[in-house]
């Protein structure tokens, strides 16, 4: 495994490589990230992982500063997975603050994380575009846990004609059902027992939707149940997998999404299903 910090050095190293499978991360890697690496390795392409904590996708400085940084441990994990290249640029090299790439997201105002985290997805798109311009991968591998992010990145790459195939990987979960996340390490001990409730309530939606009189009735029921157990809910919603908007009456492929705070930690999750 080769660790590269400079853009020019990276360019020289990948110049003769025909196809690259790329996994963008912010580090603090867990088994969910490693599942993406294994998917990339199955393609028999050069596997490149980036580690960069992208300041412009955070909504406040405290959240950015508290994000776990575990580079030494991350590199050990990636070496065990036989990753070819780990790209670890610094903020100056990526120049995200003074050179912001814009993408009109007005047509994709879904009222989900975009509503509660203004500028977040613009920050995500800006760094993804930067990485794709530098690396020019054939494949981009992302997880389904960040469902709206995955949807928007696919839309962006398609609209700007990037010759990149996006491959999605199912959410990796703890035995309890809790979706693996770099933020899980920030959950207070007193909240660990109720953290799996997020996925339990999504499973409830999947199982009981047909019994309810409307989408809003089951959304309100789940939100109320979470609130009663100490969660601060941002949204519980059922959307179309195709558009991520409220589904039409004849749509069958749906996704239930939730975002909620457990103490000071914001967690998101989702579950796809057909009716």
Nearest Cα neighbor of 159 from 98, 107, 113 is 107
Distances (CA, A) of 199 to 37, 122, 147, 208: 24, 28, 14, 14
Q: Give phi and psi for 54, each to the nearest 5.
A: -85, 100
Q: What would the two tokens of residue 198 be?
A: 């997020």
Strand (E) or helix (H) holding 274: strand 265-274
Rg over CA atoms, the chain = 19
Among candidate residues 33, 110, 120, 191, the one labeled active-site is: 33
Is 30 in the active site? no
DSSP class of residue 179? B
List CB contacts of 222: < 8 A, sequence separation 6 or more.
201, 204, 205, 236, 258
Please identify every residue annotated as catalytic.
Answer: 33
């Amino acid at each position: 495994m080769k660790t590269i910090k400079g853009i020019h050095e990276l360019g020289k190293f990948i110049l003769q490589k025909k196809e690259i499978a790329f996994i963008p991360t912010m580090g603090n890697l867990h088994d969910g990230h490693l599942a993406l690496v294994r998917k990339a390795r199955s393609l028999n392409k050069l596997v490149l992982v980036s580690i960069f904590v992208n300041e412009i996708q955070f909504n406040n400085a405290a959240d950015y500063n508290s994000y776990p940084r575990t580079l030494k441990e991350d590199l050990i994990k990636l070496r065990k997975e036989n990753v070819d290249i780990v790209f670890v640029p610094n903020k100056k090299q990526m120049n995200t603050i003074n050179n912001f790439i814009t993408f009109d997201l007005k047509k994709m105002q879904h009222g989900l994380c975009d509503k509660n985290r203004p500028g977040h997805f613009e920050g995500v798109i800006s760094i993804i575009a930067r990485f794709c311009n530098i690396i020019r991968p054939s494949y981009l591998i992302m997880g389904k846990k960040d469902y709206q992010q995955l949807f928007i990145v696919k839309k962006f790459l398609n609209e700007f004609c990037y010759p990149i195939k996006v491959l999605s990987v199912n959410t990796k979960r703890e035995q309890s059902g809790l979706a693996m996340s770099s933020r899980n390490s920030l959950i207070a001990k007193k909240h660990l027992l109720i953290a799996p409730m997020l996925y339990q309530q999504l499973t409830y939606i999947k199982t009981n939707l047909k019994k309810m009189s409307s989408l809003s009735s089951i959304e309100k029921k789940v939100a109320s149940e979470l609130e009663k157990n100490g969660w601060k809910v941002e949204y519980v919603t059922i959307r179309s997998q195709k558009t991520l908007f409220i589904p039409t009456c004849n749509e069958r492929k749906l996704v239930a999404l939730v975002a909620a705070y457990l103490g000071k930690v914001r967690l998101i999750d989702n579950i796809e299903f057909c009716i």
